[in-house]
Structure 1
Amino acid sequence: MAADFWAGYSAGVVGIVVGNPLDILKTRLQAGTWRTEPSSSTLPDVSANTRNNATSQRWTSLLRGAAAPILGYGLLNALLFVSYNRSLALLNTGSMSDWPENPSAWSIWTAGALGGLATFIVSAPTELVKCRAQVSNPPQSSLDIARQMWKQAGLRGLYLGGGITSVRDAVGYGFYFWSYEMTKRAMTAESDSHNQQALKVLLCGGLAGIVTWSSIFPLDVIKTRYQTWDLVPTHSSMVASPAAQPLLRQTLPFTARPSTLHIAKEAYAAEGISVFSRGLGVCSARAFVVNAVQWAVYEYVMKQLTH
Structure 2
Amino acid sequence: MSADFWSGYVSGAAGILIGNPLDLIKTRIQAGNASSPSPSPSDLPGGGQQPLQTQQQQRPSIRGHFDRAGTLVRGTTAPILGYGALNAILFVTYNRTLSLLHTSPPPSSSGTPYSPSDLFKVWCAGAAGGLATFVVSAPTELVKCRAQVSRGPTTSSWAIAREAWRAEGVRGLYYGGGITSVRDAVGYGFYFLSYEWSKQALSSPEDTDREATLKVLLCGGLAGVITWASVFPLDVVKTRVQTQLLNTSEQQRPLLRPQTGSLPPDSTRRLSTMEIARQAYQKEGAGVFFRGLGICSVRAFVVNAVQWAVYEWMMQLLQPT
Q: Mark yes or no: TM-score above 0.5.
A: yes
Alignment of 1:21-36 (within 5 A): 21-33=21-33, 36=36
Distance 2:91 2:174 in 1: 22
**Distance of aligned partners of 1:100 and 1:193 in 2 relative to their CA distance in 1, 3 Å threshold:** closer
Q: What's the CA shift for 1:219?
A: 0.1
Alignment of 1:120-139 (within 5 A): 120-139=134-153
2:76: which partner in 1?
66
The answer to whether the 8 A contact 2:34-2:243 is kept is no
Distance 1:213 1:198 in 2: 23
Aligned length: 278
2:237: which partner in 1?
222
CA displacement 1:15-72 (0-9 Å, x = unmatched): 000000000000000001487359xxxxxxxxxxxxxxx9996221011000000010
Unaligned stretches of 5+ in structure 2? 39-63, 108-112, 255-264
- Tell me the secondary structure at the aligned position of residue 304 of structure 1: helix
**Distance of aligned partners of 1:104 and 1:153 in 2 relative to their CA distance in 1, 3 Å threshold:** same
Match of 2:172 among 153, 157, 178: 157
Seq. identity, %:
59
Distance 1:78 1:66 in 2: 18
**Distance of aligned partners of 1:269 and 1:225 in 2 relative to their CA distance in 1, 3 Å threshold:** same
Match of 1:288 among 301, 305, 316: 301
**Distance of aligned partners of 1:35 and 1:257 in 2 relative to their CA distance in 1, 3 Å threshold:** closer
TM-score between the two structures when normalised by the length of structure 2:
0.81
1:301 aligns with 2:297: no
Is the helix fraction higher in 1 or 2?
Answer: 1
The answer to whether the 8 A contact 2:7-2:315 is kept is yes
Q: What's the CA shift for 1:92?
A: 2.0
1:6 partner letter: W
Distance 2:119 2:65 in 1: 49
Q: What's the CA shift for 1:94?
A: 9.1
Measured on the aligned residues, the alpha-carbon RMSD in Å equals: 2.7
Distance 1:76 1:14 in 2: 13
2:287: which partner in 1?
274
**Distance of aligned partners of 1:124 and 1:247 in 2 relative to their CA distance in 1, 3 Å threshold:** closer
Distance 1:125 1:11 in 2: 20
The answer to whether the 8 A contact 1:230-1:248 is kept is no
Moved over 4 A (4+): 54-57, 250-253
CA displacement 1:137-179 (0-9 Å, x = unmatched): 2141000000000111100000000000000000000000000
**Distance of aligned partners of 1:75 and 1:35 in 2 relative to their CA distance in 1, 3 Å threshold:** closer
2:116: which partner in 1?
102
Distance 1:206 1:195 in 2: 17
Unaligned stretches of 5+ in structure 1? 39-53, 234-245
